[in-house]
Amino acid sequence: MDLWIIRALLFVAILAGGYFIRPFGTDASNLQLTLIFSACLGLVIVLAEMRIRRLSPKTLIGAAVGSILGILGASLISIVVGRMSFSHPQTQTFIQLLILILMTYIGLVAGAHKGEYLDLSAFGGIFSDSVLRKSCKVLDTSVIIDGRIADICKTGFLDGTLVVPHFVLRELQQIADSAD
């Protein structure tokens, strides 16, 4: 309940900021445009926050690192674009803004996708195993002999790690070596 109050206050603050700053001008028609834009921006921020809360810490860290690298790449490209001559200075600014948005987005998506490969144990226990516990499936002899587990794995239905204990491997070896 408290989180919805905070979200409502954020939404009101964005609307108030749009009303008092009026980035699109001071006439009444531009004020309506400003309020509509502010309301849409507030909704997008709240929806993004709700989506981000579901992500794993590895994905969030990967997305943050990717975004930072994208912004650094965009700033280097913007230096090159800044040295080019355009007929209108607005065109140069618009191209630099597009490069910034594009590179940040690409870095965010690539970093979030590759974030699952991060080893967070290097942070010294900040992200302990209780937080980042992987789901393990322990397989027994009958499941392996049955053979359907391979088909289930190919479909991608199981997530996590498949674990085959040594005693199961020994039992499978004994079955394979038997005369029957």
Residues 19 and 63 reside in one and the same domain: no
Q: What is the pLDDT of residue 123?
A: 66
Q: Is 159 part of any domain? A: yes
Inter-CA distances, 57 with 60, 70, 116, 164, 171, Å: 5, 20, 9, 28, 39
Query: Is the residue at 148 inside a domain?
Result: yes
Instruction: Using pLDDT thresholds of 50, 70 and 90, give the confidence band for residue 166.
Output: very high
Kindly give the interhelix angle for 57-82 and 89-114, rounded to the nearest 10 degrees.
150
Instruction: Answer yes or no: do 106 and 61 share one domain.
Output: yes
- 84 and 50 housed in the same domain: no
pTM for this one? 0.54
Q: Are residues 72 and 99 in the same domain?
A: yes
* Pair 42, 62 in one domain: no
Q: Are residues 63 and 121 in the same domain?
A: yes
**Predicted confidence (pLDDT) per residue in 8-61, tens digit:** 888 889 888 888 887 777 677 778 888 888 889 889 988 888 888 888 888 888
Question: What pLDDT, on the 0 to 100 scale, is given for residue 103?
Answer: 93
Classify residue 131: in a domain, yes or no: no
Residues 118 and 170 both lie in one domain: no
Residue 130 lies in a domain: no
Provide the domain count of the chain: 3
Confirm if 115 and 61 have CB atoms less than 8 A apart. yes
* 143 and 105 assigned to the same domain: no
CB 132 within 8 A of CB 57: yes
Has residue 25 been placed in a domain?
A: yes
pLDDT recorded at residue 126: 60
Greater confidence, 6 or 159?
6
Residue range of the domain that includes 113: 57-125
Instruction: Kindly state whether residues 83 and 30 are assigned to the same domain.
Output: no
Does residue 73 surpass a pLDDT of 90? yes
Average pLDDT, the chain: 83
Pair 61, 120 in one domain: yes
Pick the more confident residue, 133 or 173.
Answer: 173
Tell which residue, 80, 149, 143, 68, has the closest CA to residue 104.
68
* In a shared domain, residues 143 and 121: no
Report yes or no on 144 lying in a domain. Answer: yes
Q: Do residues 11 and 62 both lie within one domain?
A: no
**Residue 132 pLDDT more than 80?**
no
